[in-house]
Amino acid sequence: MAGVQVGKRIIGAEAPVIVGWENIGRVEGGPFKRFFFTWFQPAVLFGLIAFWYYAPNEWALASIGIAIGLGFKVLLLGLEWVNPRYRSWQLTWKEFATDVFYVGLGYTLVRMMGTYLGDDVMIGAVQDAFAWEKFSWFTGLPLLVQALAISMIFDFGQYWMHRGMHNWYPLWLTHAPHHYITQLNINKGAVGNPVELFLIGLGVGGFFDFLPRAFLIAGAIGMSVATYQHINVRFNTPRWWRFIFNTVEHHSVHHSRDYEATRSNYSGTWIIWDRIFGTCVDGEAELLGQEGGRRMDIGETMVYPFREGYRTTRAWLRRKLRLPEAPGAAVQPEPAE
C-alpha cells in the first residue's frame, strides 16, 4: 500500500485510509433523508445552546442535562440503525451489552476514583497549597464566551493528555485497550481500561470560576459535537463544521489500523487544536483496531496496562541485570505498535 503524504508523514501505508474529503461517502436516499442527515448536527448544537441559554433557573440543572444526554444517546442509537456509515460497524447485541458495561463502569467505578483522586481534588490541593482563589473574572464575560472558554480549555487539556498517551509508554498502556475497538458505535467512547477513562476525564477547568449556566452550555457543546466521534451514522457534515469540530470521520482515522494515522486527530471536540498543533488528518477509515483487528475482551482490557507494564519492566530489568530474556518476551519499542 502506497499511502498518501500528509505533511511529513505517509498515511495509509499499512491499512486503507481515505485522506481528504473528496472521496468520503455521502448520504444516499430521498431529499428528506439527505436534508435530515445534513442539518441534524448543526440543528441539535444550536438548539441545545439556545435551550440552555434561555432555560429558566429551575430547569438549568445538571440532572436535566444528564437526562437530555441519555435521551440524545437513545436517539443516536436509532439513527445508527436507520443510516449506518458502515454495515461492518453494525451494532450487535453482544457489542451493545459490552459497551453498556464500560458505560456502567464510567458511572460507578470511575466516578468513585474521581471523587477521591479526580481533578477537583488535585486542583483543591493546589489552591490550598498556594492559597489561590479561583480565577473569577470569567463570570463577568458573556455567557457564550464563558461556555466556549470552558469547552476549549477542557478540550485543550484532553488534547495533550491524549497526545501524551500516544507518545509516552506508561500512558499508552492505559490507552491501548481503547484502540482495540474494531468498530465505532455511540458508546464506544466509554470502552477502555478504567485508569484511562479516569485520566482522560481530568481537566484544569476547576481553576476558573464560571457561571453554572455557562457550564451547562459548554456541556451541551461537548455533547452535541464530541458524541459524534464514535458514532456509526453517515452524515453530510458541513464543511465549516468539520473544519472547526472533531467528527467521526476524523476519529475513524485516529482508530484506523494504520500506525501513522493513529497518531493524528487527538482532540475530543475542537479539531482546530489538531490543526494548530499539526496533527490533523482529514479523512476516514473503515478498518479499525490493532493487531489486524483482534477484538480485546473485557477481561484483557481490565488487566492489559498492568500485565504489559509488568512484562516490560521485567524485560527492562533483565536487560539491565544482563539476564537472559524470558521465553516469548517481546517488548513494544514504542507506543501504538
Which residues are near another protein by CB under 8 A? 15, 53-57, 60, 86-88, 90, 92-98, 100-101, 104, 107-109, 111-112, 115, 139-143, 182-183, 211-213, 257, 286-287, 292-298
Instruction: Mark out the alpha helices in the chain (DSSP H runs).
Output: 31-54, 62-82, 93-107, 109-117, 119-130, 143-165, 169-175, 194-200, 212-226, 239-244, 248-254, 259-262, 272-277, 298-320
d(C-alpha 67, C-alpha 128), whole Å: 34
Closest CA to 282 of 6, 16, 37, 64: 6
- Read off the C-alpha cell for 241: 463544521
d(C-alpha 283, C-alpha 20), whole Å: 5
Task: Report the residue number, 34 or 111, with the smaller CB distance to another protein.
Answer: 111
The least CB distance from residue 139 to another protein, in Å, is: 5
Residue 296 is classified by DSSP as: P
Beta pairing, strands 9-11 & 283-284: unpaired
The least CB distance from residue 278 to another protein, in Å, is: 27
Task: Report the residue number, 146 or 237, with the smaller CB distance to another protein.
Answer: 146
Task: Report the residue number, 161 or 248, with the smaller CB distance to another protein.
Answer: 248
Cα Dmax for the chain: 69
The least CB distance from residue 167 to another protein, in Å, is: 24
Task: Report the residue number, 76 or 91, with the smaller CB distance to another protein.
Answer: 91
d(C-alpha 97, C-alpha 107), whole Å: 15
Task: Report the residue number, 5 or 115, with the smaller CB distance to another protein.
Answer: 115
- Cβ atoms of 284 and 12 within 8 Å: the answer is no
The least CB distance from residue 116 to another protein, in Å, is: 9
Task: Report the residue number, 8 or 94, with the smaller CB distance to another protein.
Answer: 94
The least CB distance from residue 66 to another protein, in Å, is: 9
The least CB distance from residue 313 to another protein, in Å, is: 26
